[in-house]
């Protein structure tokens, strides 16, 4: 089993991150925002280690990880205004980059195997996390954009709540316990729900088409 381009490591790291984030949400005495930052950084390192094969994107990813690591250290040592936002933007850029690279790998004209199936799940998880960060930025711009969530000590929605809301919206479950209040976040929720449906439909079509094309080529 090769390391580069193998999605299983990314999938395991994402699932571990989501589970530990939920545990820390329920048992805050285990760890706070600093531990969450370390978890995010660990997820990013696994992504760059297992996913990126292009040297340019590899160096970009390493640079973003370095910026994030410096930001975490500075958060530990100092209370610098605006540093948290810079760290969040850096993490969002990395997750977005990872999503694009992973999706590009899924669309490559290669045989359908278990790695591609795992990759499709990883991309789905990455999309949900990316959208959670977008909601987070919307909440920062307009506090009170959502109702039904718990607040962190600064009075903002917690990352776990927004990730939870993002996946509920992406999968169109629509529990209704967290609801968008402003036109902007309602529009974002609509777009995410539509994306979730089109992702599944288009991905299945692409994977089936690739499988048929590869099967027919093998017969020639």
**Second-level CATH architecture of 7-219:** Orthogonal Bundle (1.10)
Termini Cα distance of the chain: 29
Return the top range by mean pLDDT from 33-37, 98-102, 123-127. Answer: 123-127
Residue from 211, 19, 46, 200 nearest 124 by CA? 200
Spatial distance between the Cα atoms of 194 and 186, rounded to a whole number of angstroms = 12
pLDDT band at 142 (very low <50, low <70, confident <90, very high): confident
Spatial distance between the Cα atoms of 194 and 127, rounded to a whole number of angstroms = 13
pLDDT at 23: 81
Given a cut of 70, is residue 11 above it in pLDDT? yes
Residue spans per domain, the chain: 7-219
Confirm if 105 and 121 have CB atoms less than 8 A apart: no
pLDDT band at 31 (very low <50, low <70, confident <90, very high): low
Question: Does the global pTM surpass 0.75?
Answer: yes
Alpha helices in the chain (DSSP H): 7-26, 33-50, 55-77, 83-106, 114-141, 159-170, 183-219
Mean pLDDT value across residues 121-133:
91
Q: What's CA 217's distance to the chain center, in Å?
A: 35
E-assigned strand segments in the chain? 146-147, 179-180
Given a cut of 50, is residue 2 above it in pLDDT? no
Spatial distance between the Cα atoms of 33 and 1, rounded to a whole number of angstroms = 35
Beta bridge partners of 147: 179
Spatial distance between the Cα atoms of 40 and 98, rounded to a whole number of angstroms = 13
Question: Average per-residue pLDDT in the chain?
Answer: 77
pLDDT tens digits, residue range 44-69?
Answer: 777 666 666 666 666 777 777 777 67
Q: Which residue has the higher pLDDT, 100 or 52?
A: 100
Q: Which residue has the higher pLDDT, 112 or 155?
A: 112
DSSP character for 22?
A: H
């Amino acid at each position: 089993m090769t390391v580069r381009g193998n999605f299983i490591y990314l999938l395991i790291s994402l699932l571990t991150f989501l589970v530990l984030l939920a545990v820390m949400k329920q048992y805050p005495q285990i760890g706070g925002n600093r531990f969450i930052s370390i978890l995010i950084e660990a997820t990013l390192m696994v992504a760059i280690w297992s996913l990126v094969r292009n040297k340019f994107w590899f160096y970009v990813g390493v640079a973003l990880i370095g910026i994030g690591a410096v930001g975490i250290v500075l958060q530990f040592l100092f209370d610098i205004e605006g540093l948290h936002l810079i760290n969040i933007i850096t993490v969002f850029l990395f997750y977005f980059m990872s999503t694009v690279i992973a999706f590009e790998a899924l669309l490559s004209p290669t045989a359908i195997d278990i790695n591609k199936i795992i990759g499709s799940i990883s991309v789905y998880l990455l999309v949900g996390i990316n959208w959670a960060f977008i909601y987070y930025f919307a909440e920062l711009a307009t506090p009170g954009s959502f109702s039904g969530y718990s607040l962190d000590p600064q009075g903002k929605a917690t990352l776990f709540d927004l990730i939870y809301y993002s996946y509920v919206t992406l999968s169109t479950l629509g529990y209704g316990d967290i609801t968008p209040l402003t036109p902007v976040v309602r529009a974002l929720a609509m777009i995410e729900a539509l994306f979730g449906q089109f992702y599944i439909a288009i991905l299945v079509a692409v994977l089936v088409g690739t499988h048929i094309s590869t099967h027919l080529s093998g017969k020639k």
